[in-house]
């Protein structure tokens, strides 16, 4: 009898330990830990102005969602992120392949590449606004220009690592150029393109906010600037939260399934 | 498609310019031979004697050569299909077995299921939708073999395709190769450093020298087909050959028992 009770307790404890120790359990634990530290930290600020509690932020989020057009500003920012992202990926992948495959092109473009790679984001933004005016196009070009050099680095590396032996197969069997490119060459680049895309989206949305802060009259960056001037920290955190949630949805809903599809054959 | 002329090789010199790390060296010099249409010709030589280089030239992968390789031409006048089975299968890992063969076919042959028929002949019918990573080494080589025959080549080049397989798997693949070659006759240039393999497969064996390569012996294999790997007939042929040309083939006989044999 006593032995049986001990067994039940032991298995229940064991089960609990397994749940907490599982990856999902650890993620939940990590999240709860964040909330706890945050809540604890708010006690150091009795005014609630400098660091609002998690529930205050949620409440503010709800308010802005319903009354203050949060979705509109979020949508505008997302559109800019998407435009700059696709622009930067298309141009960056093309340049990366060119520079990886053609030595002459690499030598010619390398200096420019290093220049843009090391140009501070802020400088590019200021120059774009000064030269092209405070327009939507200038904003998106500024963001794309910041990202293109990073895409080039990754894709050029991938192009250099391409297996020439497989391309020789295409040559021997006289596969046409289009099929060679799409079916023999590009699949070898997918891991690199995916890596560039992942890093790209995270970098781009951060730069988009700066661009909006400096020269746009809508979008998350513009709103954050406004809240900063009003010292509305709860709203700043509410917008941040909303955007982070959206970026996580993109990561798990778009990027991860795409990557699984491209690497199915492994 | 009637093929009217065989393969003719006439290479005066093939030189690799060094690039700092590797010194320049001459791989082939004064290498001349002809292979009649439909002949199964084996090229036998020590490792590093320029056999792969020769196949690359014949396949059109390497144009930097002093000399010419005339590939079998047909009466249509267009450049007929040359196909190449490499030392490693070189399959595309992101494509199914079926697509790996179909990708090299023109749309017509693909539509009539020519690739699938060949794969079925190679006993791969139940692996059509598998990815190459799931296959064994022998199966991958059968896919590569199906791909090589799929384009109905006028010239088939094979570069030690069955090296590093164990004996039974290798023998089975050699039988499949001969079956397919008899069903679909074509001119074959088969590179190997294994004398028994050459005797089992070939109508003729060309022995190449240490680099710079040239032909040192041209032997017709007049054994009746079908032959049996490791049979007394093959053994006797080998012994006779080594007796007659022992001096010339001394270096090579060593190479057949020691695949790691390399040139200084």
Does residue A8 share a domain with residue A95? no
Q: Is residue B102 part of a domain?
A: no
Burial A40-66 (b: 16+ CB within 10 A, else e): eebeeeeeeeebbbeebbeebbeebee
Verify that A221 and A114 share a domain, yes or no: yes
DSSP assigned state of B13: E
Question: What is the count of structural domains for chain A?
Answer: 2
Do A35 and A148 have their domain in common?
no
Distance set, CA A7 to CA A13, A14, A18, A138, B199 (Å)? 10, 10, 16, 69, 72
The CATH number of the domain holding residue B175 is 3.40.50.300
Residue B76 lies in a domain: no
The rounded average pLDDT for each run of 10 residues, N- to C-terminus, in chain B (264 residues) is: 73 85 86 93 85 91 89 63 92 94 89 91 93 93 95 93 90 94 94 92 91 87 89 91 74 43 38
In terms of CA atoms, which chain A residue is nearest residue B55?
Answer: A172
B246 lies in some domain: yes
- The domain in which residue A257 lies consists of 62-262
Residues A93 and A32 in one domain: no
A233 within some domain: yes
Indicate whether A179 and A226 sit together in one domain.
yes
**Complex-level ipTM beyond the 0.95 threshold:** no
CATH code for the domain of A249: 1.10.3720.10
Please check whether residue B50 is in contact with residue B208, taking contact to mean a CB–CB distance below 8 angstroms.
yes
Q: Report how far residue A239's alpha carbon sits from residue A256's, in angstroms, rounded to the nearest whole number.
A: 25
Contacts 24+ apart (CB under 8 A), B169-177: B169/B137, B169/B138, B170/B197, B171/B229, B172/B138, B173/B138, B173/B141, B173/B142, B173/B145, B174/B200, B174/B201, B174/B229, B176/B122, B176/B142, B176/B145, B177/B145, B177/B201
Q: Does A67 touch chain B (CB under 8 A)?
A: no
Nearest in space to A81 (alpha carbons), one of A145, A143, A150: A143
Burial class (CB in 10 A: 0-12, 13-18, 19+), B196: middle
Question: Is the link from the previous residue into B212 a cis peptide, with omega within 30 of 0?
Answer: yes
Q: Is residue B186 part of a domain?
A: yes
Same domain, A146 and A223: yes
Answer whether A184 sits within 8 Å of B93, measured CB to CB. no
Of A165, A166, A173, the CB nearest to B104: A173
**pLDDT tens-digit series, residues A36-66:** 998 888 888 878 788 888 888 999 999 998 8
A175 in B contact zone (CB under 8 Å): yes
CB contact under 8 A, B95 and A173: no
* A35 and A66, same domain (yes or no): no
Residue range(s) defining the domain that contains residue B258? 25-50+160-264
Whether residues A171 and B83 touch (CB distance < 8 A) is answered with: no
* pLDDT for the residue B259: 40
3-state secondary structure of B77: coil
Using the Cβ of A178 and the Cβ atoms of chain B, whether some distance falls under 8 Å is answered with no
Q: Indicate whether B260 belongs to any domain.
A: yes
Residue A56 falls inside a structural domain? no
Nearest-CA distance A46 → chain B (Å) = 59
User: Quick one: A90 and A168 in the same domain?
Assistant: yes
Q: Please count the structural domains in chain B.
A: 1
A132 and A40 in one domain? no
Q: Are residues A211 and A86 in the same domain?
A: yes
Q: With respect to residue A53, please indicate whether it lies within any of the assigned structural domains.
A: no
Max CA-CA distance within chain A? Answer: 85
Is B44 a domain residue? yes
B92, A183: Cβ pair inside 8 Å? yes
Domain shared by A144 and A186, yes or no:
yes
pLDDT band of A201, cuts 50, 70, 90? confident
E strand or H helix that includes residue B255: helix B246-257
A1 confidence band (pLDDT: 50, 70, 90): very low
Q: Are residues A128 and A25 in the same domain?
A: no
């Amino acid at each position: 009898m006593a032995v049986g009770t001990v067994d039940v307790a032991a298995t229940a404890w064991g089960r609990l330990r397994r749940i907490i120790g599982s990856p999902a359990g650890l993620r939940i634990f990590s999240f709860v830990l964040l909330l706890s530290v945050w809540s604890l930290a708010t006690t150091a600020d009795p005014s609630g102005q400098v660091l609002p509690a998690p529930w205050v932020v949620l409440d503010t989020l709800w308010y802005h969602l319903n009354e203050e057009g949060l979705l509109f500003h979020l949508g505008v920012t997302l559109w800019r992120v998407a435009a700059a992202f696709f622009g930067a990926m298309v141009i960056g992948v093309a340049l990366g392949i060119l520079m990886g495959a053609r030595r002459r092109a690499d030598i010619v473009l390398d200096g420019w590449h290093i220049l843009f790679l090391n140009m501070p984001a802020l400088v590019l933004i200021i120059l774009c606004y000064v030269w092209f005016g405070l327009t939507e196009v200038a904003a998106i070009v500024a963001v794309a220009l910041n990202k293109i050099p990073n895409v080039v680095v990754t894709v050029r590396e991938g192009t250099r690592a391409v297996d020439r032996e497989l391309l020789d197969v295409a040559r021997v069997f006289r596969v046409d150029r289009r099929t060679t490119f799409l079916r023999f060459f590009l699949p070898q680049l997918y891991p690199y393109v995916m890596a560039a895309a992942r890093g790209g989206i995270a970098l781009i949305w951060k730069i988009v906010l700066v661009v909006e802060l400096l020269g746009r009259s809508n979008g998350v960056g513009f709103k954050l600037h406004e809240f900063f001037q009003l010292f509305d920290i709860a709203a700043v955190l509410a917008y941040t939260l909303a955007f982070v949630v959206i970026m996580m949805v993109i990561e798990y809903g778009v990027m991860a399934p795409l990557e699984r599809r491209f690497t199915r054959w492994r | 498609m009637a093929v009217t002329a065989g393969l003719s090789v006439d290479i005066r010199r093939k030189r690799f310019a060094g690039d700092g790390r590797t010194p320049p060296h001459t791989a082939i010099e004064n290498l001349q031979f002809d292979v009649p249409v439909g002949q199964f010709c084996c090229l036998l030589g020590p490792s590093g004697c320029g056999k792969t280089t020769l196949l690359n030239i014949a396949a059109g992968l390497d144009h930097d050569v002093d000399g010419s390789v005339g590939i079998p031409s047909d009466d249509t006048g267009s450049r007929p299909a040359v196909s190449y089975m490499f030392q490693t299968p070189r399959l595309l890992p992101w494509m199914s077995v079926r697509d790996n063969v179909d990708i090299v076919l023109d749309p017509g042959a693909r539509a009539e299921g020519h690739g699938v028929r060949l794969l079925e002949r190679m006993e791969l019918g139940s692996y059509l939708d598998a990815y190459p990573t799931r296959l064994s080494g022998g199966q991958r080589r059968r896919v590569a073999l199906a791909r090589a025959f799929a384009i109905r080549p006028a010239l088939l080049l094979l570069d030690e395709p069955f090296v590093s397989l164990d004996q039974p798997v290798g023998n089975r693949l050699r039988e499949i190769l001969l079956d397919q070659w008899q069903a679909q006759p074509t001119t074959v240039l088969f590179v190997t450093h294994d004398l028994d393999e050459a005797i089992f497969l070939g109508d003729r064996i060309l022995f190449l020298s240490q680099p710079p390569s040239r032909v040192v012996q041209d032997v017709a294999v007049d054994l009746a087909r079908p032959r049996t790997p490791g049979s007394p007939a093959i053994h006797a042929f080998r012994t006779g050959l080594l007796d007659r040309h022992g001096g010339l083939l001394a270096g090579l006989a060593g190479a057949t028992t020691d695949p790691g044999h390399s040139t200084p």
